[in-house]
Amino acid sequence: MSSDMNAEQATRSAQRALFHRFLLTLLICFLFLMTVMVFILTYLLDYQERKLLSSLGQEYQRILTFESDSKLEHVVINNPNRLIENAISVARVDSTGQLEWLSGAELPSFPEVVSEYQPALRHWYHLFSHAPYLSLKLDGKPSQYWLIMDGTPRRTHLFVQGAALCAALAVMVALIALIVWRLLSRTLSPLHSLAKGVDQVRGWSLDVMLATDLPALESSGPLGQLSQSVQQVLNRLRETVKGMDQTVDAIAHDVRTPLSRVILTTEAALSEDTAKYQPEQIEASLRSALSDCAESAQQANQMLTTLMRIHDEQVGRHALETQPIELAQLLSEVAAWYEEVAEDTGIRLNTDGLEAVTCVSDAKRLTQIVVNLVDNSVKYSLPGGEVSLACGEAVDHLWFSVSDRGIGIEPAHQALIFRRLYRVEGSRHRPGYGLGLAMVSAMVNTLQGSIDLNSVLGEGSRFTVRLPKTLDL
């Protein structure tokens, strides 16, 4: 505290410093929140673009494969609305290798090297590049075509959303700052009152200070109790000196006027109406902030729930519920659940390799293992690929496998994919948390089995689960 600053000024300066620190922390938190939300919006927009382009590409490729080039040109020329609405152009490669606009949105100019803008070569943040394009090659007979999506309209829409988000957060910060300032003022009011009383008696002589009470102080809240404690200490000190000096009664008369002035000032401050906003306005702002947070929690709550389930499996918290299980039937049922998803992505589910075998195991866990493996294979298979399910019996165990002809896994990553939250670099653009195979590994161990992976990069993967014919309980 500087020598020219009294106690009340110091407490109010401390209040302002505390408020500034809170405001800085609040701004940092909201900037972080805004950054995360912009990231999520950008990622979702990129995901939607890729999904839309992939869907159109599959539809048009089927026309080229099963019909003809002229049929495709007829379709896109006579039905350009969907392409225009999504800022997608269809271009044909002419005899000189140049792109010739065919239908859809008209671009100012085509990218110089259109193949560089294919989804596999573009990152989720490509919308912020100088050329926010996505391209997809279509092979006809004999012509070649390109779908080119211009991300400029979506980028503009994203900027508008970001500006609206900034404005909403700015209003929210202002409202919260105002509310916190009022709360700080009311909470620290007893401390200000105490400081004011200290300033009043600081210039008194020792006899006067010990012979009189401090001005009436606020006694509400924890800081009010502090004021009362200080007053009690000084009063006890006064009582100690009182026995040594019989003139206290005369001096007490002289402090009645300042005591009355302090009481009147305090009562006037307490009677002021500090509410400047309606409760409904404050509640509406707080509800808006609480709503954005909950979408992301939810993506974590889900992650934490899965992590807890993995932990429960590893520590054996839930007992096994064993029963005879027709393994081929279980695999067929799970395959049936994924038929529609596989069909939408052009993937064939093959169950020809299933043999009639029976094991004694936990049906719920076994179903979850198969679901996770099939889901993984469908997710990482390429359009037109195949996911095969097979099962059989060996001398001392049963086995089943789920194989695909997808992207495959590099040898360096194969020993790591069963770890929690581990994801291969090439799979990070696909949805998921990296917990599915960790859950599979934990459940397989619970069922006293083992899981093996055989994978070749670019050719596919095969997961094989081996289970005992009966469990040792």
Which pLDDT tens digits describe the chain residue by residue (473 residues)? 445 567 777 878 888 888 888 888 888 888 888 888 888 888 888 888 889 889 988 998 898 888 888 898 888 889 888 888 888 899 888 878 888 888 888 887 788 788 888 888 878 777 777 778 888 899 888 888 989 888 888 888 888 888 888 888 888 888 888 888 888 887 777 777 777 776 776 666 656 655 565 555 555 555 566 666 666 666 666 655 553 453 333 334 333 434 444 344 444 434 444 455 455 644 544 344 344 444 444 555 666 676 677 777 766 777 888 889 999 999 999 999 998 888 888 899 999 999 999 988 889 999 999 999 998 888 888 888 899 999 999 888 999 999 998 888 888 778 788 777 666 655 545 555 667 788 888 899 889 899 998 988 888 899 999 999 888 76
> What phi and psi values does residue 289 have, to the nearest 5 degrees?
-65, -40
Instruction: Give, as one character, the DSSP assignment of residue 419.
Output: S
Quick one: which of 98, 102, 64, 68 has its CA closest to 83?
Answer: 102
What is the pLDDT at residue 367?
93
Cβ neighbours of residue 343 closer than 8 Å, sequence gap 6 or more? none
Cβ neighbours of residue 159 closer than 8 Å, sequence gap 6 or more? none
With 0.85 as the threshold, say if the pTM is over it: no
What is the pLDDT at residue 391?
93
User: Going by DSSP bridges, is the β-strand pair 386-393/348-353 parallel, antiparallel, or unpaired?
Assistant: parallel
> What phi and psi values does residue 347 have, to the nearest 5 degrees?
-110, 140
What is the pLDDT at residue 235?
65
What is the pLDDT at residue 373?
92
What is the pLDDT at residue 156?
84
**In this structure, are residues 430 and 380 in contact, taking their beta carbons and an 8 Å threshold?**
yes
Quick one: which of 423, 435, 465, 460 has its CA closest to 448?
Answer: 465
Cβ neighbours of residue 277 closer than 8 Å, sequence gap 6 or more? 175, 178
CA quadruple 123, 128, 133, 134: dihedral sign:
positive
C-alpha 310/C-alpha 435 separation (Å) is 9
**In this structure, are residues 147 and 53 in contact, taking their beta carbons and an 8 Å threshold?**
yes
What is the pLDDT at residue 262?
37
**In this structure, are residues 147 and 90 in contact, taking their beta carbons and an 8 Å threshold?**
yes
Rounded to whole angstroms, what are the CA distances from 172 to 165, 199, 283? 10, 38, 11
> Which conformational region is residue 104 in: left (phi greater than 0), alpha (psi within -120 to 50 degrees), or beta?
left
What is the pLDDT at residue 124?
76
Take residue 141 and report the two structure tokens written for it.
């007979």
Buried b / exposed e along 173-187 (16+ C-beta atoms within 10 A): bebbeeeeeeeeeee
Q: What is the CA radius of gyration of the chain?
A: 36
Q: What share of the chain is helix, strand, coil (3-state, %, to 5)?
A: 55, 15, 30
- Domains of the chain, first to last: 1-187 (no CATH), 189-283 (no CATH), 298-467 (3.30.565.10)
C-alpha 322/C-alpha 97 separation (Å) is 64
Cβ neighbours of residue 279 closer than 8 Å, sequence gap 6 or more? none
Which run of H or of E encompasses 446? helix 436-446
C-alpha 15/C-alpha 10 separation (Å) is 9
Take residue 171 and report the two structure tokens written for it.
């209003």
Bridge partners for 133 per DSSP: 150
Task: Give the SS3 label for residue 227.
Answer: helix
Please measure the distance between the N-terminal and C-terminal CA atoms of the chain and give it in whole angstroms.
73
Per-residue 3-state assignment (H helix, E strand, C coil) for 78-95: HCCHHHHHCCEEEEEECC
Q: List the helix and strand counts (H, then E) for the chain.
A: 16, 11
